[in-house]
Chain A
Amino acid sequence: DADVTQTPRNRITKTGKRIMLECSQTKGHDRMYWYRQDPGLGLRLIYYSFDVKDINKGEISDGYSVSRQAQAKFSLSLESAIPNQTALYFCATSDSAGTGGQEQFFGPGTRLTVL
Protein backbone atom coordinates (compact mmCIF):
# COMPACT_ATOMS: atom_id res chain seq x y z
CA ASP A 1 0.00 0.00 0.00
CA ALA A 2 1.23 3.46 -0.89
CA ASP A 3 2.25 5.62 2.06
CA VAL A 4 1.44 8.89 0.28
CA THR A 5 -1.54 8.95 -2.05
CA GLN A 6 -2.83 11.67 -4.32
CA THR A 7 -6.20 12.08 -5.99
CA PRO A 8 -6.96 12.52 -8.78
CA ARG A 9 -3.97 11.17 -10.73
CA ASN A 10 -5.00 13.02 -13.86
CA ARG A 11 -7.31 15.96 -14.38
CA ILE A 12 -8.25 18.08 -17.35
CA THR A 13 -10.16 21.26 -16.62
CA LYS A 14 -11.03 24.60 -18.17
CA THR A 15 -9.80 28.08 -17.43
CA GLY A 16 -11.64 29.64 -14.51
CA LYS A 17 -12.70 26.40 -12.84
CA ARG A 18 -11.98 25.64 -9.21
CA ILE A 19 -9.89 22.54 -8.70
CA MET A 20 -8.90 20.65 -5.56
CA LEU A 21 -6.07 18.16 -5.40
CA GLU A 22 -5.98 15.89 -2.38
CA CYS A 23 -3.16 14.21 -0.54
CA SER A 24 -3.31 11.60 2.21
CA GLN A 25 -0.49 9.89 4.08
CA THR A 26 -0.28 6.90 6.39
CA LYS A 27 3.30 7.53 7.51
CA GLY A 28 2.31 9.44 10.62
CA HIS A 29 4.44 12.39 9.56
CA ASP A 30 3.67 15.86 10.84
CA ARG A 31 5.04 17.81 7.87
CA MET A 32 3.42 17.97 4.44
CA TYR A 33 4.30 19.83 1.24
CA TRP A 34 2.90 20.64 -2.19
CA TYR A 35 5.20 21.05 -5.18
CA ARG A 36 4.72 21.61 -8.86
CA GLN A 37 7.03 20.25 -11.52
CA ASP A 38 7.51 21.79 -14.94
CA PRO A 39 9.89 20.60 -17.65
CA GLY A 40 13.39 21.90 -17.02
CA LEU A 41 12.46 23.63 -13.76
CA GLY A 42 12.66 20.86 -11.21
CA LEU A 43 10.37 20.87 -8.18
CA ARG A 44 9.11 24.18 -6.86
CA LEU A 45 7.47 24.54 -3.46
CA ILE A 46 3.93 25.92 -3.42
CA TYR A 47 2.88 25.56 0.23
CA TYR A 48 3.99 23.59 3.25
CA SER A 49 2.61 22.72 6.66
CA PHE A 50 4.58 21.64 9.72
CA ASP A 51 1.49 20.62 11.68
CA VAL A 52 -2.28 20.90 11.53
CA LYS A 53 -2.34 24.54 12.63
CA ASP A 54 0.61 25.64 10.55
CA ILE A 55 0.44 26.79 6.91
CA ASN A 56 3.31 28.50 5.09
CA LYS A 57 3.74 29.89 1.60
CA GLY A 58 6.43 28.50 -0.62
CA GLU A 59 8.15 30.18 -3.52
CA ILE A 60 5.18 30.07 -5.93
CA SER A 61 2.01 30.29 -3.84
CA ASP A 62 0.13 32.88 -5.94
CA GLY A 63 -3.04 31.40 -7.42
CA TYR A 64 -3.08 28.49 -4.94
CA SER A 65 -4.48 27.83 -1.49
CA VAL A 66 -4.21 24.88 0.87
CA SER A 67 -6.04 23.26 3.73
CA ARG A 68 -4.59 20.92 6.36
CA GLN A 69 -7.74 19.10 7.43
CA ALA A 70 -5.94 16.61 9.64
CA GLN A 71 -2.39 15.45 10.24
CA ALA A 72 -2.81 12.92 7.45
CA LYS A 73 -4.52 15.17 4.87
CA PHE A 74 -3.32 18.19 2.98
CA SER A 75 -5.28 19.55 0.00
CA LEU A 76 -4.27 22.05 -2.66
CA SER A 77 -6.82 24.27 -4.38
CA LEU A 78 -6.69 26.33 -7.52
CA GLU A 79 -9.46 28.88 -7.03
CA SER A 80 -9.61 29.88 -10.69
CA ALA A 81 -7.40 27.69 -12.85
CA ILE A 82 -5.36 29.23 -15.64
CA PRO A 83 -3.40 27.49 -18.44
CA ASN A 84 0.03 28.24 -16.97
CA GLN A 85 -0.95 26.10 -13.97
CA THR A 86 -0.74 23.08 -16.23
CA ALA A 87 1.92 20.95 -14.55
CA LEU A 88 2.65 17.87 -12.49
CA TYR A 89 1.78 18.33 -8.82
CA PHE A 90 3.42 16.36 -6.04
CA CYS A 91 2.59 16.03 -2.40
CA ALA A 92 5.35 15.07 0.04
CA THR A 93 5.71 14.36 3.75
CA SER A 94 8.52 14.40 6.27
CA ASP A 95 8.97 13.68 9.95
CA SER A 96 10.31 16.37 12.25
CA ALA A 97 10.80 13.89 15.07
CA GLY A 98 13.36 11.69 13.37
CA THR A 99 17.05 11.83 14.15
CA GLY A 100 17.87 11.75 10.48
CA GLY A 101 17.72 14.54 7.99
CA GLN A 102 14.76 16.17 6.34
CA GLU A 103 14.06 13.37 3.87
CA GLN A 104 10.76 13.88 2.10
CA PHE A 105 8.55 11.08 0.83
CA PHE A 106 6.60 11.81 -2.33
CA GLY A 107 3.25 10.77 -3.67
CA PRO A 108 2.77 9.54 -7.24
CA GLY A 109 1.77 12.93 -8.58
CA THR A 110 -1.25 14.52 -10.24
CA ARG A 111 -1.07 15.61 -13.84
CA LEU A 112 -3.22 18.72 -14.24
CA THR A 113 -4.07 20.22 -17.61
CA VAL A 114 -5.86 23.56 -17.80
CA LEU A 115 -7.36 24.31 -21.21
Chain B
Amino acid sequence: GESVGLHLPTLSVQEGDNSIINCAYSNSASDYFIWYKQESGKGPQFIIDIRSNMDKRQGQRVTVLLNKTVKHLSLQIAATQPGDSAVYFCAENIRGFQKLVFGTGTRLLVSP
Protein backbone atom coordinates (compact mmCIF):
# COMPACT_ATOMS: atom_id res chain seq x y z
CA GLY B 1 0.00 0.00 0.00
CA GLU B 2 0.98 3.64 -0.27
CA SER B 3 2.93 5.39 2.43
CA VAL B 4 0.07 7.49 3.78
CA GLY B 5 1.03 9.29 6.91
CA LEU B 6 4.69 8.39 7.35
CA HIS B 7 4.97 10.77 10.29
CA LEU B 8 1.56 10.35 11.84
CA PRO B 9 1.05 9.91 15.58
CA THR B 10 0.47 6.24 16.22
CA LEU B 11 -1.66 4.42 18.76
CA SER B 12 -0.79 0.78 19.32
CA VAL B 13 -3.29 -1.45 21.14
CA GLN B 14 -3.95 -5.11 21.73
CA GLU B 15 -6.92 -6.83 20.19
CA GLY B 16 -9.89 -6.59 22.52
CA ASP B 17 -8.73 -3.37 24.19
CA ASN B 18 -10.67 -0.14 23.91
CA SER B 19 -9.04 2.58 21.79
CA ILE B 20 -9.35 6.32 22.17
CA ILE B 21 -8.24 8.59 19.36
CA ASN B 22 -8.16 12.31 20.01
CA CYS B 23 -8.50 15.37 17.84
CA ALA B 24 -8.19 19.05 18.65
CA TYR B 25 -10.12 21.34 16.35
CA SER B 26 -9.39 24.94 15.71
CA ASN B 27 -12.54 26.92 15.12
CA SER B 28 -15.21 27.68 17.70
CA ALA B 29 -17.64 28.28 14.81
CA SER B 30 -17.43 24.63 13.73
CA ASP B 31 -20.89 23.10 13.87
CA TYR B 32 -20.43 19.57 12.59
CA PHE B 33 -17.71 16.96 12.98
CA ILE B 34 -16.95 13.66 11.29
CA TRP B 35 -14.58 10.81 11.93
CA TYR B 36 -13.19 9.00 8.91
CA LYS B 37 -11.25 5.75 8.67
CA GLN B 38 -8.70 5.25 5.91
CA GLU B 39 -7.31 1.80 5.24
CA SER B 40 -4.21 1.32 3.16
CA GLY B 41 -4.91 1.77 -0.53
CA LYS B 42 -8.40 3.14 -0.01
CA GLY B 43 -10.16 6.44 0.30
CA PRO B 44 -11.47 7.71 3.64
CA GLN B 45 -14.68 6.07 4.84
CA PHE B 46 -17.27 7.66 7.10
CA ILE B 47 -17.44 6.23 10.62
CA ILE B 48 -19.59 8.55 12.70
CA ASP B 49 -20.58 12.19 12.92
CA ILE B 50 -21.79 14.60 15.58
CA ARG B 51 -23.35 18.05 15.56
CA SER B 52 -22.17 20.80 17.85
CA ASN B 53 -25.43 20.74 19.84
CA MET B 54 -24.52 17.26 21.10
CA ASP B 55 -21.84 16.02 23.49
CA LYS B 56 -21.91 12.34 22.66
CA ARG B 57 -23.06 10.04 19.93
CA GLN B 58 -22.84 6.29 19.75
CA GLY B 59 -22.64 3.91 16.86
CA GLN B 60 -21.81 0.26 16.56
CA ARG B 61 -18.67 -0.20 18.72
CA VAL B 62 -17.81 3.48 18.27
CA THR B 63 -18.56 6.56 20.35
CA VAL B 64 -17.71 10.15 19.55
CA LEU B 65 -17.36 12.69 22.36
CA LEU B 66 -17.34 16.42 21.80
CA ASN B 67 -16.01 18.93 24.32
CA LYS B 68 -16.69 22.36 22.93
CA THR B 69 -15.15 24.13 25.90
CA VAL B 70 -11.67 22.93 25.00
CA LYS B 71 -12.41 22.25 21.31
CA HIS B 72 -11.68 18.57 21.60
CA LEU B 73 -13.15 15.58 19.82
CA SER B 74 -12.49 11.93 20.57
CA LEU B 75 -13.33 8.62 18.95
CA GLN B 76 -13.67 5.60 21.18
CA ILE B 77 -13.57 2.13 19.65
CA ALA B 78 -14.73 -0.70 21.88
CA ALA B 79 -13.17 -4.15 21.70
CA THR B 80 -10.70 -3.12 19.02
CA GLN B 81 -10.13 -5.67 16.27
CA PRO B 82 -7.26 -6.14 13.79
CA GLY B 83 -9.60 -4.89 11.06
CA ASP B 84 -9.73 -1.55 12.87
CA SER B 85 -6.10 -0.93 11.97
CA ALA B 86 -6.11 2.18 9.79
CA VAL B 87 -5.52 5.92 9.82
CA TYR B 88 -8.32 7.89 11.48
CA PHE B 89 -9.11 11.50 10.57
CA CYS B 90 -11.36 14.00 12.23
CA ALA B 91 -12.96 16.69 10.10
CA GLU B 92 -14.81 19.85 11.08
CA ASN B 93 -17.32 21.92 9.18
CA ILE B 94 -17.00 25.60 9.92
CA ARG B 95 -20.43 27.21 9.96
CA GLY B 96 -21.01 29.26 6.82
CA PHE B 97 -18.09 27.82 4.86
CA GLN B 98 -19.72 24.58 3.71
CA LYS B 99 -16.37 22.80 3.49
CA LEU B 100 -14.71 20.23 5.68
CA VAL B 101 -11.32 20.88 7.26
CA PHE B 102 -9.42 17.69 7.98
CA GLY B 103 -6.98 16.90 10.75
CA THR B 104 -3.67 15.22 9.97
CA GLY B 105 -4.75 11.80 11.23
CA THR B 106 -3.75 9.16 13.75
CA ARG B 107 -2.57 5.69 12.84
CA LEU B 108 -4.16 2.88 14.87
CA LEU B 109 -2.25 -0.38 15.00
CA VAL B 110 -4.03 -3.38 16.49
CA SER B 111 -1.97 -6.42 17.33
CA PRO B 112 -3.52 -9.85 17.92
Contacts and interface: CB of A to CB of B under 8 A. Distances in A.
Interface of A: 4, 33, 35, 37, 39-45, 48, 50, 58, 88, 90, 92, 100-109, 111
A101 B94 CA distance: 12
A69 to B, nearest CB: 21
Interface centre among B45, B46, B102 (most CB of A within 10 A): B102
Chain B contact residues: over half helix, strand or loop, or mixed? Answer: loop
Which of A35, A58, A101 has the most CB atoms of chain B within a 10 A radius of its CB?
A101
B34 A108 contact: no
B4 A88 contact: yes
Nearest to B44: A106
B54 to A, nearest CB: 11
Contacts of B32: 101-102
A40 B44 contact: no
B104 interface: yes
The 10 A-B residue pairs whose C-beta atoms are closest, nearest first, are: A106-B43, A40-B7, A39-B6, A101-B32, A42-B104, A43-B102, A42-B102, A106-B44, A102-B93, A109-B43
